[in-house]
Structure 1
Amino acid sequence: MLLKLGGLFFLVSVVFWLWAIFDSLTCDDKRVRNLPRWGWVVVILVFLEFGALAWVIFGRPRGGQLAARGSKTQPPRSGPVGPDDDPDFLRNIKGP
C-alpha cells in the first residue's frame, strides 16, 4: 500500500512541477512577481517541487491578474447593438 501511495505522490509532484515550468514560461513578464521570468524558471528547474511551490506562492500573478492574462478587454458598448435593443425602433413597430 505504501508503495502505491509513494508512486501516486511522485506522479502528482511531477505533474505539479511540469505545470509550474509551463506556467512560468507562458506567463506575461510584466505580471510576474519578485523575480524576472527567467529567474523563476531557473528556480523551478534547480529546486524541483520546492521551486514550483515557491513559484505558486511568490512569483505567480495574483488572482485578479490571471483573469486578464489571456483575455482582451472590450470597452462597454455605448449604444444599442441590434434593432431589438433599440427603443426608437421598437416604438416605430406597428402591431397587427
Structure 2
Amino acid sequence: MLRILTFVLPLALWVWAFIDCLTTPEDEVKHLPKVVWVIIVLLFPLVGSIAWLVAGKQRGGPHAAAGAGRRAAGEGHPGYDRPRGGRPLAPDDDPEFLASLKKDDNRHEDMLKQWEADLRRREEELRGREDPEDGRKG
C-alpha cells in the first residue's frame, strides 16, 4: 500500500499542478512567464509542481483582491463578472439581465401580433378567392 502511495501521490500532485498552471490567468502568475512555468512543471514533475505551488501563483493577499476588482469592473471573463461583494451575480438578481428579458418579451409579442395580422390578412384573401360572385371557386 505504501509503495502505491509513493507513486500515486506525486503523480496526483504533478497532474494537479499542471492543470492549475494551465488554467491560471496570465495576470496571476508570479516571477516567470506562464509558458516557462508550464515547461518547468512538465520537465521536473515533483520539484516543478512544488515550486509552482509555492512561488508560481498569486494566492490571497492584496494582489488577488485587485484581480477580483478588475473582474468586477467588467475586465474579466463575461460569464464570471462579480459584484463588489465578490459573489457571482445570479441571472435572476441581475437588473440588466431582467431588463433584457422584458425587452425580448416585448419584441416577441410585437412579432407575434404582426404574424397574427399577416395570417388574418392571408385568410381573408383566400376567402375572397373562394367566394366569387357567381358561387364557383376561383
> Which TM bucket (shorter chain)?
0.5 to 0.7
Structure number with the higher helix fraction is 2
- Unmatched tracts of structure 1, length 5 or more: 82-96
**Residue 12 of structure 2 corresponds to residue 15 of structure 1:** yes
What amino acid is aligned across from residue 81 of structure 2 in structure 1?
Answer: K
Aligned equivalents of 2:10 and 2:29: distance in 1? 23
Name the SS for the 1:34 alignment partner: coil
Which residue does 2:27 correspond to in 1? 30
TM-score (norm 1): 0.66
Identity of aligned residues (%): 34
Runs (4+) of structure 1 moved beyond 2 Å?
63-73
How far the C-alpha of 1:9 sits from its partner, in A, is: 2.0
Instruction: Return the index of the structure with the highest Cα Rg.
Output: 2
Question: Relative CO higher for 1 or 2, CA cutoff 8 Å, sep ≥ 6?
Answer: 1
How far the C-alpha of 1:61 sits from its partner, in A, is: 1.7
Aligned equivalents of 1:74 and 1:28: distance in 2? 20
Q: Between Structure 1 and Structure 2, how many residues are aligned? A: 74
> RMSD between aligned alpha carbons?
2.6
